[in-house]
Structure 1
Amino acid sequence: MGRTANPINYDVPTRGQLAELLRGEKAGKTYDDLASLSGVSAATLKRAASGNTIPSEKVIDAFLEACGSDPRTARKAKSLRRHARRDELGGYTRPVRPVTINTGDKLADALIDTYRNAGAPTYREMQTRAGGAYLISLSTISRILHRQTLPVDTQQMVAFLKGCNVARRDHGEWIEAWRRVHEHSSNQAGTQAALSIIDAIQNVMSELRIDSASLAAGMASAVVAAAKSANQINTGVLEAFENVRLDTPELTAGLASVVETAEKRLMSVPPYDAMTLPPTAHEKAA
């Protein structure tokens, strides 16, 4: 007489339902029987049908194939797995419409919610769905989900979406959201760089005791205009200074020093590719 099976754990209802489905497909076979047919250890198969853990898709496929289950049952099992993974992370989150996303923080939150609603697939599963490591690495997926970075280009954005099984028809509005965030970030970096230069100019003028408000305003305006030249900001700043005719050697030397200092500050402004998001209050507390 065989041993009585342990009761299924229903602490997470969808996880218990998955275990119940797997046990129902055994059709009298022992776990040792399934192990010999599937190549997966009996212990792993037994855990898969316990309700204590959520098995991988690979284990589910092997379990059901050994049982001779039909494709419809396999699809139902994988659906239960996705719901169970999502429920373990706090349940379904109402998705944000990509059209409302215009900042890095909002995009990061939306990508994390999309991942959780997709059943929190493993990084390897996401990479496989995306098309391979050359499209998105496991470390990149991890960094995106830990709010350490955002997709660096549209190809990586699409790879992440595919990894979360987002329908192809929805990719367009997500890409537009990414572009808005990218533009917003680039504008912020350019504005911050320009402000740093203007601040340095004002400091030098103060040290040299220059009282010409018109000169200060004119040079500040030139720097702002140059800053609008996106990636050509360094060249633009230098040209702006070259167009100002100064006859005082001491002032000229001082401004040259400002330009050098400003260029160093510009070099410290992180490009969009390396942009990282600030930790949330919850993450700081953790």
Structure 2
Amino acid sequence: MGRPEGPIAETGPARRTLALWLRSQRESASLSYEGLAARTTYSPDTMRRAASGQRIPTLKVLVAFAEACGADLQVAEGLWKSARRELSGPHREYHIAYVIDFPDLHDAMQSLYRHAGSPSYSELDRRAGGNGRLAKSTLSRFFAKKSVPSKDFTLAFAVACGVRGEKLELWEVAWLRAAGRRASERRERIAKQERGKRLRRKRARVNFRIIARCVGCHRHEVLEVQDPAEIFWCSSCEKGKIPLMR
């Protein structure tokens, strides 16, 4: 006979609900924690901690617990996601339809990740099909906001977080919208740089206002020139002019 069930730890309502549901499923299946362990690859202590409310079990442990009790896996995962969202704290929800640039897309992906229960990096990669499609290093750079997600990464990430069908198309459209905004901003930045270069070149071409004297007829005229050291002759002499003074 197993040791008596301890009280559920003081925790948030979602985590407490998950712990109560796991305990009720174990009791409905008339199983001790030792009996649960015999039906899984985990120890009795692992099964007991999963229903203690002290911490949220991993998704693998949760699935093993629910399967051993014959419980509904969708209900189990839904409760697990709620508990994980509660653990991550309050956050703003971002709807994919309102994404206009990559910062918006990043926030939407973060929100989707939390809504999916914040699974581990290895779990994300497994759900995306494996083979490093969502490599740990790539995920780390993304969550640290050190990289811009590619379209393939964005769609694989959405699939790993449970997005399917027509909703997945919304994520592709959102990425294209963000990529278009980024390209537009880059064009504007290049155009601004070119305008600055032209302005600097124009400012470099400063004209001097001088009184010039024709070498041929010695008549004086007021001119604007770039090089006051040039020799000038008037149009009548058809030879240019020479500066007299600035």
TM range (shorter): 0.7 to 0.9
- Determine if contact 2:93/2:108 at 8 Å carries over to the other structure: no
Partner of 1:125: 123
Residues of 2 paired with 1:187 and 1:198: CA distance?
16
- SS of structure 2 residue aligned to 1:53: coil
Map of 1:65 onto structure 2: 67
Q: Is the 8 A contact 2:33 2:48 kept in 1?
A: yes
After TM superposition, the score normalised by the length of structure 2 is: 0.73
Distance in 2, matches of 1:207 and 1:91, equals 56
Structure 2 counterpart of 1:171, one-letter code: L
Asked whether 1:23 is paired with 2:23, we answer: yes
State the alpha-carbon separation in 1 of the partners of residues 181 and 135 from structure 2.
Answer: 26
- Report deviation, 1:181: 1.0
Alignment of 1:218-257 (within 5 A): none
Moved more, 107-116 or 125-134: 125-134
| Structure 2 equivalent of residue 84 of structure 1 | 83
Measured against aligned partners, the alpha-carbon deviations of 1:25-74 in whole angstroms (never above 9, x if no partner) come to 3345433333333121222222111101111121112223334x14x2x2
Q: Report the CA distance shift for 1:144/1:194 in structure 2 as closer, same or farther (over 3 A).
A: same
User: Which residue of the partner structure matches residue 174 of structure 2?
Assistant: 177
Q: Is the 8 A contact 2:2 2:32 kept in 1?
A: no
**Which segment drifts farther, 33-42 or 200-209?**
200-209
The residue that corresponds to 2:136 in the other structure is 138
Structure-1-length-normalised TM-score: 0.64
Equivalent residue letter for 1:19:
A
Give identity over the alignment, percent: 31
Structure 1 gap ranges (5+):
212-286
The total of aligned residue pairs comes to 207
Query: Which range is displaced more, 173-182 or 58-67?
Result: 58-67
- Give the drift of 1:144: 2.6
Are the equivalent residues in 2 in contact too, given 1:92–1:117 (CA < 8 A)?
no
Moved more, 133-142 or 39-48: 133-142
**In the alignment, which residue of structure 2 is the partner of 1:48?**
50
Superposition pairs for residues 143-162 of structure 1, below 5 Å?
143-153=141-151, 155-162=152-159
Matches within 5 A, 1:195-206: 195-206=192-203
Which residue number in structure 2 is paired with residue 115 of structure 1?
Answer: 113
Amino acid in structure 2 at the alignment position of 1:31 = Y
- The one-letter code sitting in structure 2 at the alignment partner of 1:209 is V
Separation (CA, whole Å) in 1 of partners of 2:123 and 2:62: 14
Q: Say whether the 8 Å CA contact 1:86–1:92 is kept in structure 2.
A: no
Q: Deviations for 1:73-128, whole angstroms, at most 9, x for unmatched residues? A: x22111100111011122575442x3322122222211111211222222222222
Residue type of the partner of 1:198?
A: R
One-letter code aligned to 1:51: G
Q: Structure 1 residues 62, 100: closer, same or farther in 2, change over 3 A?
A: closer
- Partner SS state of residue 55, structure 1: coil
Deviation, 1:164, is 1.2
What letter matches 1:45 in structure 2? Answer: M
Name the larger-Rg structure. 2
Task: Indicate the structure whose relative CO is greater, using CA pairs within 8 Å and at least 6 residues apart.
Answer: 1
Higher fraction of helix:
1
